[in-house]
Amino acid sequence: MSEKLRFLLSRLFRKTWWRCALFSLFAFLAVALSAVIGPSIPQSVAMQLGSESIDSLLGILASSMLTVAIFSATTMVASFSAVSNSATPRASQLLIEDSTVQNTLAAFIGAFLYSVIALVGLHAHVYGEGGRLVLFGFTLAMLVFVVVVLLRWIDYLSVLGRLGETIRRVELATQRAMVQRLAKPWLGGRPQPDGARGRHAVQAPTTGFVQHVSMDLLQRRAEALGTTLHLHVLPGAFVEPSVVLASCDTPLDEDDRKAIADALVIGTGRSFDHDPRFGLVVMGEIAARAMSASVNDPGTALDVMATAVKTLVYWIETQRTGGEGAAGTGSAEDATAGPEFDRVSAPALREAGMVEDVFAPLARYGAEAVEVGVVLQRALASLRRMDHPPFNGPLEDLSRYAIARAEHAGAMPYDVQLLRDAAAGRTPAR
């Protein structure tokens, strides 16, 4: 199975309708099994245990599950809107793909369909005494399952859509993408030398963001051509028909160009899956919204800065424990075993951009808030003390930029000196 197919299947399995259809299938199978297993149960046993209350139980389950399912769907939509309004619309993607939310809605819909199908079977006299007994057992199990899911859902509602929970989700998604990238710093290919470009180029077939690169498909095409392919874009890059996706020195026909372009999944938006910088961009957007005049919530900006420092420190420490690689990234496996796709070269992630993605909006929009500026300088100083070469230059530039923005915003000399002291590490941490 190609990497592209696995990626598309993983996106499919995260859709809400898929889980709802799966739970509904289980419900249908439970009803069908009752009719199949029922005749094998002795009638005397079925009569002794009794199942006269099955009709009323199924009626209660059908009416209540429809109401609860509609309520849950309404809550989901309200939570998506709350995340978009309080954080950023890009963060709502994580909530839409949340497995707990999807499983809860799917369980309620599945229970509703189970009860409706079972009631139809009962009124159509599909079940004998044994079938009614089996159906009664499945109904009791369904009731227990629904109660457990409902209790979990009530507890989950206490954090669903909250800003702090959204920031935590963005942090976890970013760390997952970082782990994937550090495991394959060049997506499993060879490190690409600066300026490497073949004579024959493949342009993007459409406009959008690169969401996934299937290196195995590129490797297969490179082997068929007997050449080396140079990949020029990474997941998260914005492309349009004039942007070169890949190039090589071997002449390419239309089939070759189409096969190379098809190895890249281009969508309308960026994805958290293989793009470590996207999570940091989203953090920056959350902080920028918090510092807007309409929201004016410096506390959220401080929370974002703490999360950003934690996330970038995670990147640095994971990188250091994982081995050496180009541009500071790599893994021991890459260094000893060689690249998995030796006929494809890929550029390294621009690490300086990771710092800029999250802290530049804070320096820009938080220039008038001295308390935010001081914490920003402390955050930048904390990362400088980690002494990560790709970060050091951008951190120094951002520190100076933030102070210059504060001066331009009309900060008092005393406040500007506070910022300079924080940048130099001369103010006590609070």
**DSSP state string for 81-109:** HHHHHHT-GGGHHHHHT-HHHHHHHHHHH
On whether both 379 and 410 belong to a single domain, the answer is yes
pLDDT of residue 325: 42
Q: Which amino acid is at 75?
A: T
Rg of the chain taking only CA atoms, in angstroms: 28
On whether both 247 and 117 belong to a single domain, the answer is no
- The answer to whether the CB of 394 falls within 8 A of the CB of 355 is yes
pLDDT digits (tens, 9 = 90+) for 16-25: 888 888 888 8
pTM: 0.85
Residue 429 lies inside a defined structural domain of this protein: no
State how many domains the chain has: 3
pLDDT digits (tens, 9 = 90+) for 330-375: 444 444 567 889 999 999 999 999 999 999 999 999 888 999 999 9
On whether both 153 and 216 belong to a single domain, the answer is no
- The answer to whether the CB of 150 falls within 8 A of the CB of 67 is no
pLDDT digits (tens, 9 = 90+) for 243-281: 999 999 999 999 999 999 999 999 999 999 899 999 999
On whether both 303 and 379 belong to a single domain, the answer is yes
Residue 394 lies inside a defined structural domain of this protein: yes
Q: Which residues constitute the domain of residue 202? A: 188-267
Q: How far apart are CA 87 and CA 94, in angstroms?
A: 12
On whether both 113 and 67 belong to a single domain, the answer is yes
Q: How far apart are CA 355 and CA 50, in angstroms?
A: 68
Report residue 270: phi and psi, to 5°: -75, 160
Residue 192 lies inside a defined structural domain of this protein: yes
| Range of lowest pLDDT (31-35, 168-172, 362-366) | 31-35
